[in-house]
Chain A
Amino acid sequence: MMLALEMFRSVPRTVAGRAVGGRMPGILSGFAAPLRLMTIDEPKVDRPGWARLKTRLSGICGSDLGMLSGKTSLYFSAVVSLPFVPGHEVVAELLDDCEDLPAGTRVVVDPVLTCAARGVEPCEACVTGATNRCSRITVGHLSPGLQTGFCKDTGGGWGQQLTAHRSQLHPVPEGFSDEQAILIEPLACAVHTALRAGVVTNDRVLVSGAGSVGLFATLALRQLTDAGEIIVVAKHKHQKELAREFGATEVVAPGEVLRRVRRSTGAFQLQPEFSAPYLLGGVDVAVDAVGSKQSLETSLNATRAGGRVVLSGMPAAADLSAAWFRELEVVGTYASSQHEESFRIATELAATDAVQQLAKNVATYPLHRWREALDHAHSAGRLGTVKVAFDPRSTR
């Protein structure tokens, strides 16, 4: 038996009918939370290529918070299987030998449950290595679930033990702290985002949001592309400092974005009736790293005609007029892709000074303090934290 947090009912379903006004952190940790701390059986391993993992740390991601607070679209209800143990940002050690990896190896997990993990013939996407686009995420040996952390059978990082397939495992280099390693998965997503952004030399880029998604996207854009100016939208003081360290040329407050982009691109600004202003002209590429309606609309409104808007946060419904009228390319960026070697590149990024510094600031909680942990993650920006994680080994 082991201790784990379990998501036991579909919040999208229960909350969809209810009018939830604004942000409700209480719903994450209050009595209505669809999460409970349980003693349950360890997930089983009875197939080749699979091994048991003992969780060392598991991060709390924006998508987890979205799922728990019922903000996530019902779209996702078909690609999860209840009840499940959340946690897809995982650093763990192998309890069994796993093909070439001996027991005791410290690994990070690529959470996407692809054809390889499911034991089915590889789909077209998996054949090319675009594993994040796998079309078989609901079939095969496993219950439906797009990722570890959303699947009934695999367990997730918010439990003391989980299982994973060899295709998901990446050994952690010597000398990395667990806190550093826990950042590799989100960094891998950022690598994918940066490559999806289609930046060409000297492009002006806007990154809307300076949480972990925005900061890591900034770092990846700076390290992996020839972007010129990178303008990052940050609310809080320490986020501004971090954004600069991670490669931002300019950091602006949410209310200043359009003004600053207009100025630095020489764009024209229009003020439609009863809605937000927008630009004719603007940045070449915008990355929405928040997913709120406001952030997404800002990204759309600040991008030049023919430019590209990258949906990096899980998006809310927004006014897409700009995408039509300004012929924007709106592209999604989900998880990371194996053929890009996102995890290898992410591991290199995790070794940089800036990320090492940030890793020292990762806040960890034992599972039984999950309410506090979720509240902290929800207010992380305000409280000066970039990443909050569970440490299921800890009891205090």
Chain B
Amino acid sequence: MSRPGFVLDVDDRTPPLLVHEGLGFRLESFPLGTRVIYPPESLPAVPDVDQAIVDALLHPQDMDPLPELLFAGMKLTIAFDDISLPLPTMRPPDIRGRIIEHVLTMAADAGVDDVELIAANALHRRMTAAELKHIVGERVFRSFYPQGKLYNFDAEDRDNLSHLGTTDKGEDIEISKRAAESDLLIYVNVNLVAMDGGHKSVGIGLASYKSLRHHHNAKTMVQSRSFMDHKHSAMHHSAWRIGRVIKDTVKVFQIETTLNNDIFPKPYDFLQKREWEWSLKDQASMLAMKRGISIAPPKLKHKMFHDLRSVYGLTGVNAGEVEAVHTKTLEKVHQQHLVEVQGQSDVLVMGIPYVGPYNVNSSLNPILATCMGLGYYFNSYIGQPVVRKGGAVILYHPLNEGFNQLHHPSYVDFYEEVLAESTDPAVVGEKYEQQFAEDPWYKHLYRTSHAYHGVHPFYMWYWAAHAMDHVDEVIWVGADRKVAARLGFRAATTLADALEMASGTVGSSPSITYLHNPPHLLAHVK
């Protein structure tokens, strides 16, 4: 049995604690009494992955076994999560590829020959051939990619979108035409955090801007408490409304997988251990890595981190009807991530690591760093936020990686132009979102290059809307001052300085919580 998540109060025996900050980390001495929330240790992996997959396909939730849904002459579409999941990238073979192989075997047995595979990247960038190959595996790639039967979803390909109507709240439902017109749509998901999966998969992953704008906006995001609890997330409510209409029109067979917390391979596994349990060997690895980082040029540092492949163990695979499957998934995800926390604190401290969903093989620009901290990490709670209303958030990141011109062209304009005018998510959304969403050049780069859709930086900023609304002070430790100011935040050199700066808001002896991730954790704040 694994150990549950762990809450520690810093006392005079606590060693300095590891805090991630982009392409590096530091050892920080926290004030006495700081509450540290560690992620739970990894759940055991299922012993036989292929057996688990076959079991799930043959014994689905609230649906007939997959072989009974397959028939000769049918139109079968397999959609799957893109490169944004899991984080970091999984060491090959990717679990999605293994599932797809089993599905294709069953389809072949049933005489199905009209099969297409679509990466459900929504408004994310197109993946390269190599990235697609990594997800589906060499064999599937070779059989489908050259014929154009394995491809990235294109949310701007008007001819290949279907408008399925609107929800009772007037939300447009516009998704991939191929998926909508299939006799069976199989969705293969990797559920890294509780936010993913369920109706979010098809309803968001295969949707166009016209559909996404109804829930990806500042107002909806502010009202999502939390993103990790679909019953209390306004964004998920919308996705669920949309998903239910899709379910009535399209037969969806959902396959969701859950992973354990083994994200750092040896010799970097010290990164997910508790500091006072570091062995001499761990300490040596830590020092070696820290020294390596301190002398490495930025490019090499980037490579050191981004080449890292995780050794996740599969903790479960469930297939069948979307909502029934997702209930099972959430149980497992919560079992892996939930940590019980008593009460809120005045200050929340978080270290932002090098990778997020939108900078795989790319740079974590300041907007993405904000989204990671104030969007994903801040929202890693159930019940109520870890920090109290009107409290302070302290983040660690240098905010210095710049903008990748290939992947994030519209981010530069968003940063230079939109944030220069206002950092209020509602204000900038109102004034600029549509212009960016409809900009022909961004559309062109999204469709033909490897750029995120023009509207994407707005979505990143909206993710942070709830946090910005909730806390009174956001301070970045070790950040470029000018960049922090452009984002509407402040920068400090040290934690002590940051606490001093926050004292106007939270007093001189605030209660502090440090969220010690990654790996991922989900604070259940009572």
Contacts and interface: CB of A to CB of B under 8 A. Distances in A.
B440 A263 contact: no
Contact of B416 (A256, A267, A269): A256
B412 A266 contact: no
B417 A266 contact: no
Given A259-B412, A263-B435, A268 B417 contact: no
A260 interface: yes
A268 B444 contact: yes
Contact of A267 (B417, B438, B441): B441
Interface string A236-271: 000000000000000000001001101100111100
Interface string B425-445: 000000000010011110010
Contacts of A262: 441
A269 B412 CA distance: 14
Interface in A282-316: none
A259 B413 contact: yes
Nearest to A280: B441
Interface residues of A, number: 9
Nearest to A256: B416
A263 B413 contact: yes
Interface in B106-128: none
Contact of B441 (A256, A260, A266): A266
A267 B444 CA distance: 11
Contacts of A260: 417
Contacts of B444: 268
A283 to B, nearest CB: 15
A263 B412 contact: no
A251 to B, nearest CB: 11
Contacts of A259: 412-413, 416-417
Contacts of B438: 266
A267 B445 CA distance: 12
Interface residues of B, number: 10
Interface string A124-162: 000000000000000000000000000000000000000
Nearest to B435: A263
A263 B441 CA distance: 9
Contacts of A266: 438-441
Contact of A269 (B417, B435, B441): B441
Contacts of B439: 263, 266
Contacts of B441: 262, 266-269
A221 to B, nearest CB: 22
A256 B418 CA distance: 13
Most chain A CB within a 10 A radius of its CB, from B416, B438, B441, B444: B441
B407 to A, nearest CB: 16
A241 B104 CA distance: 64
Nearest to A260: B417
A260 B412 CA distance: 11
Interface string B489-509: 000000000000000000000
B413 A268 contact: no
A267 B442 CA distance: 10
Nearest to B414: A263
Nearest to B432: A263
B147 to A, nearest CB: 31
Contacts of B440: 266, 268
Interface string A201-238: 00000000000000000000000000000000000000
A263 B438 CA distance: 10
A286 to B, nearest CB: 19
Contacts of B413: 259, 263
Interface in B433-466: 435, 438-441, 444
A344 B419 CA distance: 43
Most chain B CB within a 10 A radius of its CB, from A259, A262, A263: A263
Nearest to B443: A266
A65 B147 CA distance: 66
Contacts of B435: 263
Nearest to B438: A266
A262 B435 CA distance: 12
B432 to A, nearest CB: 9
A268 B444 CA distance: 9
Nearest to B405: A271
Interface in B214-240: none
Contacts of A269: 441
A266 B412 CA distance: 15
A195 to B, nearest CB: 31
A360 B435 CA distance: 40
B404 to A, nearest CB: 15
Contacts of A263: 413, 417, 435, 439
B36 to A, nearest CB: 43
A256 B439 CA distance: 17
Nearest to A271: B405
B290 to A, nearest CB: 37
A260 B444 CA distance: 18
Contacts of A267: 441
A260 B439 CA distance: 12
A260 B435 CA distance: 12
A250 B417 CA distance: 11
A259 B444 CA distance: 16
Nearest to B439: A266
Interface in B18-66: none
A262 B444 CA distance: 13
Interface string A11-26: 0000000000000000
Interface of B: 412-413, 416-417, 435, 438-441, 444
Given A263-B435, A266-B439, A266-B441, 13 more contacts: A256-B416, A256-B417, A259-B412, A259-B416, A260-B417, A262-B441, A263-B413, A263-B417, A263-B439, A266-B438, A266-B440, A267-B441, A268-B441
21 contacts: A256-B416, A256-B417, A259-B412, A259-B413, A259-B416, A259-B417, A260-B417, A262-B441, A263-B413, A263-B417, A263-B435, A263-B439, A266-B438, A266-B439, A266-B440, A266-B441, A267-B441, A268-B440, A268-B441, A268-B444, A269-B441
**CB-CB nearest 10 A-B residue pairs:** A266-B440, A268-B441, A263-B413, A266-B439, A259-B413, A256-B416, A269-B441, A260-B417, A259-B416, A262-B441
